[in-house]
Structure 1
Amino acid sequence: MFATEPVRVVAVSAGLSSPSSTRLLAERLAGAARERLLAEQDRPVEVRVIELRDLAVDIANHLVTGFPSAALDTAIKEVAEADGLIVVSPVFTASYSGLFKSFFDLVDNTALTGKPVVIAATGGTARHSLVLEHAMRPLFAYLRATVVPTSVYAASEDWGSSGDEYTDGLPSRIRRAGGELAAMITGGRAASGAPRTLGLDDEVVPFEQQLADLRLD
Structure 2
Amino acid sequence: MKLAVVSAGLSLPSSTRLLADRLTSALVDRVPEVEVEVIELRDLAVDIANNLVTGFPASRLRAAIDAVTSADGLVAVSPIFTASYSGLFKSFFDVIDHDALAGKPVLIAATGGTARHSLALEHALRPMFAYLRAIVAPTAVYAASEDWGAEGLSERIERAASELAGLMGKEQPVRAQVDEVVPFEQQLAALRP
- What does residue 3 of structure 1 align with? none
Q: TM-score, normalised by structure 1?
A: 0.79
- What does residue 29 of structure 2 align with? 35
Answer whether contact 1:9 1:85 (CA < 8 A) is retained.
Answer: yes
Q: CA deviation at 1:53?
A: 0.1
Query: Helix, strand or coil for the counterpart of 1:161?
Result: coil
Match of 1:154 among 143, 155, 158: 143
Query: Helix, strand or coil for the counterpart of 1:177?
Result: helix
Q: Which runs of 5+ in 1 are unaligned?
A: 1-6, 39-43, 163-168, 194-217
| Count of aligned pairs | 176
Alignment partners' CA distance in 2, 1:110 and 1:191: 30
Match of 1:21 among 6, 15, 18: 15
Q: Does 1:186 align with 2:169?
A: yes
Alignment partners' CA distance in 2, 1:180 and 1:59: 30
Aligned-residue Cα RMSD (Å) equals 1.2
Q: Does 1:47 align with 2:36?
A: yes
Query: Helix, strand or coil for the counterpart of 2:77?
Result: strand
Alignment partners' CA distance in 2, 1:182 and 1:143: 20
Identity %: 66
Q: TM-score, normalised by structure 2?
A: 0.88
Q: Does 1:142 align with 2:131?
A: yes
Query: AA paired with 1:185?
Result: M
Q: CA deviation at 1:48?
A: 1.1
Q: CA deviation at 1:190?
A: 3.4
Query: AA paired with 2:24?
Result: A
Q: Which runs of 5+ in 2 are unaligned?
A: 177-193
Query: AA paired with 1:175?
Result: E
Task: String of CA shifts for 1:107-158, please: whole Å, max 9, x gaps.
Answer: 1111111111000000000010000000000000000000001000000000
Q: CA deviation at 1:189?
A: 4.6
- What does residue 123 of structure 1 align with? 112
